[in-house]
């Protein structure tokens, strides 16, 4: 990102949709990667509860905690000062009541410096989205495959394949827009449905496994960099193979330590 560029703002997301400019989002969990991603001119960093799977090795996102998300979000904000940072609200930190959602989302913004939160669900969550937005907390919605509902959905599978489910998702998207959401993540939807939802809204959609008709795209950083080599869904494109690069670097380090060539004189102090 140009050092002279002004910081991204939430209204910029709507302006980008209106101008037909695609939004670039990636997950991020720490200051080091946040700094690199900002320099690479990413628009939005998502501190996803996927951190529970990617860094903590859990099978689902369900055991992520609010304190965990605040810790990682604060780390990201220390690394990125110009890019937008949104944070996933963990399971049961917003579904219980709008009052609890306001309190927990407020903590996220106060303690991490993030710009807004993301939450999952459609029409049943519209009142909560409205309550947050009315209190000055920007919200990104999330429809389709909602990982916090993975057990109810029967696994990680494409949603909205039949006509009734598609109509429900369109109605859910409109409800989130009317409630004041500033964007909606669409995950694992047929591309035609995602394009239809995107065309029906004035707020941007950000797809993951939802085709090219969305107004932007998001991927999990470790997946697209090849650091999560066991995860190979159809929608994922790897832009690097850093897993092998890490192994090669560590093998070289280990070999030099074992044969005594590291550290050399140039790495030592008189």
* Residue whose pair of structure tokens reads 């501190």 in the numeric block: 47
Asked if residue 264 belongs to a domain, the reply is yes
Q: How much of the chain exceeds pLDDT 90, in percent?
A: 97
Predicted local confidence at residue 3, as pLDDT = 54
Residue 66 shares a structural domain with residue 87: yes
SS3 string, the chain, reads CCCCCCCCCHHHHHHHHHHCCCEEEEECCCHHHHHHHHHCCCCEEEECCCHHHHCCCCCCCCCCCHHHHHHHHHHHHHHCCCCEEEEECCCCCCCCCHHHHHHHHHHHHHHHCCCEEECCCCHHHHHHHHHHHHCCCCEEEEEECCHHHHHHHCCCCCCCCCHHHHHHHHHHHHHHHHHCCCEEEEECCCHHHHHHHHHHCCCCEEEECCCCCCCEEEECHHHHCCCCCCCCCCCCCCCCCHHHHHHHHHHHHHHHHHHCCCCCHHHCCC
249 and 225 share a domain?
no
Say if residue 220 is in the same domain as residue 246.
Answer: no
Together in a domain, 140 and 268? no
- Considering the chain, what is the average pLDDT of its residues? 96
pTM here is 0.96
Per-residue confidence (pLDDT) for residue 240, from 0 to 100: 97
Catalytic residue among 187, 229, 241, 256: 187
Does residue 4 lie in a domain region? no
Q: Is residue 249 part of a domain?
A: yes
5, pLDDT greater than 80: no
Same domain, 101 and 181: yes
Task: From 72, 180, 70, 185, select the one nearest 118 (Cα to Cα).
Answer: 185
* 251 and 232 fall within a common domain: no
Contacts (Cβ under 8 Å, ≥6 apart) of 10: 84, 115, 116, 138, 182
Share of the chain above pLDDT 70, in %: 99
Tally of domains within the chain: 2
Residues 82 and 52 in one domain: yes
Q: Which residue in 182, 2, 141, 8 sits closest to 85, CA to CA? A: 8
Query: Are both 51 and 129 inside the same structural domain?
Result: yes
Catalytic annotation on 187?
Answer: yes
Q: Which residues form the domain of 143?
A: 10-239
Model confidence at 4, in pLDDT bands (50, 70, 90)? low
Paired strand residues for 142? 185
* Mean pLDDT of the 173-182 span: 98
Q: What is the pLDDT of residues 137-170, one digit of tens each?
A: 999 999 999 999 999 999 999 999 999 999 999 9
Q: Has residue 55 been placed in a domain?
A: yes
**Same domain, yes or no: 42 and 150:** yes
What pLDDT is recorded for position 6? 87
What are the pLDDT digits (tens) for 48-103?
Answer: 999 999 999 999 999 999 999 999 999 999 999 999 999 999 999 999 999 999 99
Is 52 in the same domain as 92? yes
Instruction: Decide if pLDDT at 2 tops 60.
Output: no
In a domain, 118, yes or no: yes
Q: What is the reported pLDDT for 237?
A: 97
CA distances from 257 to 123, 129, 250 (A): 59, 55, 10
Give residue for tokens 């990125």.
Answer: 80
Residue 74 sits in a domain of what CATH number? 3.20.20.60
pLDDT per residue over 218-270, tens digit each?
A: 999 999 999 999 999 999 999 999 999 999 999 999 999 999 999 999 999 98
Looking at the fold, whether 250 and 200 belong to one and the same domain comes out as no
- CA Rg value for the chain: 20
Residue 15 is predicted with a pLDDT of 98
**At 22, is the pLDDT very low, low, confident or very high (cuts 50, 70, 90)?**
very high
Query: Do 154 and 262 have their domain in common?
Result: no
């Amino acid at each position: 990102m140009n050092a002279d560029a002004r910081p991204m703002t939430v209204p910029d997301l709507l302006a980008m949709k209106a101008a037909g400019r695609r939004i670039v989002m990636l997950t991020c969990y720490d200051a080091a990667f946040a700094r690199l991603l900002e320099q690479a001119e990413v628009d939005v960093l998502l501190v996803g509860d996927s951190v529970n799977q990617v860094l903590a090795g859990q099978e689902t996102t369900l055991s992520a905690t609010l304190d965990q998300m605040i810790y990682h979000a604060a780390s990201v904000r220390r690394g990125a000062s110009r890019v937008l940072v949104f944070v996933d609200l963990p399971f049961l930190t917003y579904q219980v009541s709008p009052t609890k959602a306001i309190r927990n989302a407020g903590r996220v913004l106060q303690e991490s410096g993030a710009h807004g939160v993301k939450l999952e669900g459609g029409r049943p969550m519209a009142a909560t989205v409205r309550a947050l937005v009315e209190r000055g907390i920007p919200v990104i919605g999330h429809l389709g495959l909602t990982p916090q509902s993975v057990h109810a959905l029967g696994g990680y599978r494409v949603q909205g394949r039949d006509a009734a489910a598609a109509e429900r998702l369109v109605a859910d998207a409109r409800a989130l827009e009317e409630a004041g959401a500033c964007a909606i993540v669409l995950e694992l939807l047929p591309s035609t449905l995602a394009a239809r939802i995107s065309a029906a809204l004035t707020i941007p959609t950000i797809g993951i496994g939802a085709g090219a008709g969305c107004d932007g795209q998001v991927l999990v950083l470790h997946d697209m960099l090849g650091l999560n080599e066991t995860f190979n869904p159809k929608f994922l494109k790897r832009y690097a193979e850093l897993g092998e690069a890490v192994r090669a670097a560590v093998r070289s380090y280990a070999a030099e330590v074992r044969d005594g060539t590291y550290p050399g004189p140039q790495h030592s102090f008189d």
